[in-house]
Structure 1
Amino acid sequence: MAMATAHSPSRAPSRWQDYVQLLKPRVMSLVVFTALTGLVCADRPVHPVLAAVAILCIAVGAGASGALNMWYDADIDAKMRRTRGRPVPAGRVQGADALALGVVLSLFSVMLMGMALNWFAAGLLAFTILFYAVIYTMWLKRSTAQNIVIGGLAGALPPVIGWAAATGSAPLNAWLLCAIIFFWTPPHFWALSLYTSEDYAKAGVPMMPVVAGAASTRRQILMYSLLVIPICIAPAFTGLGGAAYLAVSGLGGLVFILLAWRLFRSHAGEAGGQRNTDGLYDVRAGAKDARNLFAFSILYLALIFATLLAEHLMGAKPLELLSL
């Protein structure tokens, strides 16, 4: 019996669940949540049906990006333990089918957004899909260790799209929500890559721990953490967030920085020259600290966006003395 290889997976029957998996539903849920926050924070009355259509379009656009990503990345996904069970490398969905699904959903989401809401929001949605599928997936991911830094823009734009869907514009506060996610992404994703770097090295993906080593990655995680927390607190000073937001973002930010500092300090034992065969520091050192930061980073982002969402839904007043 012929054995399936990473480059020519055996054909297995497709199930509807495989096509749902192509859309990266966990990523989609975060996109929907941040987009909804942007739409609500715009404080502009939107008909519930139109609001639902806007969120649907953003969700479908995110799913389209995921399908295009899985189509193009099938070769490297097959080499990594974390991703080799995905539908395309596992042979449950043909690459051409994933590509077709991504293209159709992209066109559907952008056109529906434009016709139902406004073409400015539709244009932002189209740009986001294009940026993730082409700029990040096809270029940045395979060519530079800054792939996550630059490519993070795609994941940061949904709240701006939600805001634009409600108002037809994107003011400073909308871009502040974008900045929070943009600068949150490197410490979040690099923490993950610290304990999955063997997979990335095997697939030839130049993630930061693979290219620069674990010690440098931890140092950059700490630097980005020190940068992102003031940005996360900033909405309390622009009239976007209230007292609850200031408390959640501030206290949570302290925990975030503490975890980043512990991760940074976890490489102290490497000073004695414990290196792997590639001459880079052993990425397994401090894996628990990396996992803790990765997990908390998700919780922190969810908490600050949930607080903003709750404050605006309840009509809480911003901090007048702090508003710019």
Structure 2
Amino acid sequence: MQEASLDESAAVPVEAGLGDYFALLKPRVMSLVVFTALVGMLAAPVPVHPYIAFVATLCIAVGAGASGALNMWWDSDIDTKMRRTRSRPIPQGRVRPEEALGLGLALSGFAVVLLWLATNLLSAALLAFTIFFYSVIYSMILKRRTPQNIVIGGAAGAFPPMIGWAVATGGVSLESVLLFALVFMWTPPHFWALALFVKTDYGDAGVPMLTETHGRPATRVQVFAYTLPLVAVSLGIAFTSLGGWLYLAVALALDVWFLAGAWAIFRRSEAQAEADSYATEKRVFMVSLWYLFGHFGAILAQSVLTQWGLAQWGGF
């Protein structure tokens, strides 16, 4: 009787909670998207009404969450095979794939239309393209077909600061393109550092990450190689209207920190990495997060000081 009751209880489907649906939106990724978009909006030369800024930020956050839900719907088959994704709501059976699809589509439409009505057509079009790029170009086409998945697909995460800039100005400028380039160039070394220490996850799922297609030594080379143009973009921003003494000082410190980590990854062998359980790779991955948040935080702080006439080129 006890065994029968255990079997019956195991057959009962797990009921999804609000937290499961929220997890579909990839809140950690959403937080990065919201922050970079908000900085692009506030650092733009045209002031935005606080209410409009709030609505625009909400729309961008919802659009990012919609992309996450659509990605989890499409990747539900391979998420069950990867250790870092198998605890997500769909692989655990708490949410059905079609529910994630419906949620993603509904939120996409809501976010794009509301952003259009609240701000302008360009920002809404950029948000719509970002959702399409992440859900279709990256998730459906690139991710399972080419080791360039992260390189090209990184554009999806690079659009939010450009969207924020477009909310404020209604256009695109050199500054917003450089903000895009900063995130775009940051994405490959950030994810490849992760790929080095998650070991066989991507291979088990059949995802052609660079570590699987070209080998781990080649990935180490690419982490360092992509960090060099990333540093160039970082320093280039300092000499635009976004730049100043404060931004340059912070950018230089972060560039040296990340470049040193990328060089350490480049010099290490797999035997060395195995010996200390990939301690350096894990550290550089965390450094990469601080690197991006630090740059955008410095841009925001520089913008405030510039409005006060401080810490500019030609100022103190």
TM over 0.5: same fold?
yes
* Aligned mates of 1:227, 1:210 — CA distance in 2: 24
Instruction: Look up the SS of the partner of 1:11 in the other structure.
Output: coil
1:23 touches 1:66 (CA, 8 Å); kept in 2? yes
Equivalent of 2:127 in 125, 147, 150: 125
Which amino acid in 1 is paired with 2:63? G
Deviation at 1:269, TM superposition (A): 5.6
Match of 1:300 in 2: 291
Equivalent of 2:139 in 137, 145, 148: 137
Instruction: Look up the SS of the partner of 1:174 in the other structure.
Output: helix
1:267 touches 1:286 (CA, 8 Å); kept in 2? no
Q: Deviations over 1:243-288 (max 9, x none)?
A: 1110111111011111111111112868xxxxxxxxxxx8788721
Q: CA RMSD, aligned part only?
A: 2.1
Cα pair distance change 1:31/1:56, threshold 3 Å: same
2:227 touches 2:259 (CA, 8 Å); kept in 1? yes
* Aligned mates of 1:122, 1:10 — CA distance in 2: 43
Which amino acid in 1 is paired with 2:42? V
* Aligned mates of 2:277, 2:217 — CA distance in 1: 10
* Aligned mates of 2:285, 2:140 — CA distance in 1: 25
Which amino acid in 2 is paired with 1:196? V
Which amino acid in 2 is paired with 1:171? S
Match of 2:281 in 1: 290
Q: Deviations over 1:96-135 (max 9, x none)?
A: 1100000000000000000110011000000000000000
Q: Deviations over 1:128-158 (max 9, x none)?
A: 0000000000110000001000000000000
2:112 touches 2:124 (CA, 8 Å); kept in 1? yes
Match of 2:97 in 1: 95
Match of 1:158 in 2: 160
Deviation at 1:239, TM superposition (A): 2.4
Cα pair distance change 1:269/1:196, threshold 3 Å: closer
Q: Deviations over 1:17-56 (max 9, x none)?
A: 0000000000000000000000011121211100101100
Match of 2:45 in 1: 43
Structure 1, 311-320 or 95-104: larger mean CA deviation: 311-320
Cα pair distance change 1:53/1:213, threshold 3 Å: same
Match of 1:29 in 2: 31
2:242 touches 2:302 (CA, 8 Å); kept in 1? no
Equivalent of 1:230 in 221, 229, 232: 232
* Aligned mates of 1:32, 1:120 — CA distance in 2: 18
TM-score (norm 1): 0.90
1:320 matches 2:313: yes
Cα pair distance change 1:259/1:10, threshold 3 Å: farther
Cα pair distance change 1:84/1:125, threshold 3 Å: same
* Aligned mates of 2:218, 2:271 — CA distance in 1: 14
Match of 1:309 in 2: 300
Which amino acid in 2 is paired with 1:153? A
Deviation at 1:242, TM superposition (A): 1.2
Aligned residues: 307
* Aligned mates of 1:11, 1:103 — CA distance in 2: 25
* Aligned mates of 1:148, 1:36 — CA distance in 2: 24
Cα pair distance change 1:171/1:317, threshold 3 Å: farther
Instruction: Look up the SS of the partner of 2:59 in the other structure.
Output: helix
Deviation at 1:320, TM superposition (A): 3.1
Cα pair distance change 1:144/1:48, threshold 3 Å: same
Could you tell me the percent identity over the aligned residues? Answer: 51
Deviation at 1:240, TM superposition (A): 1.2
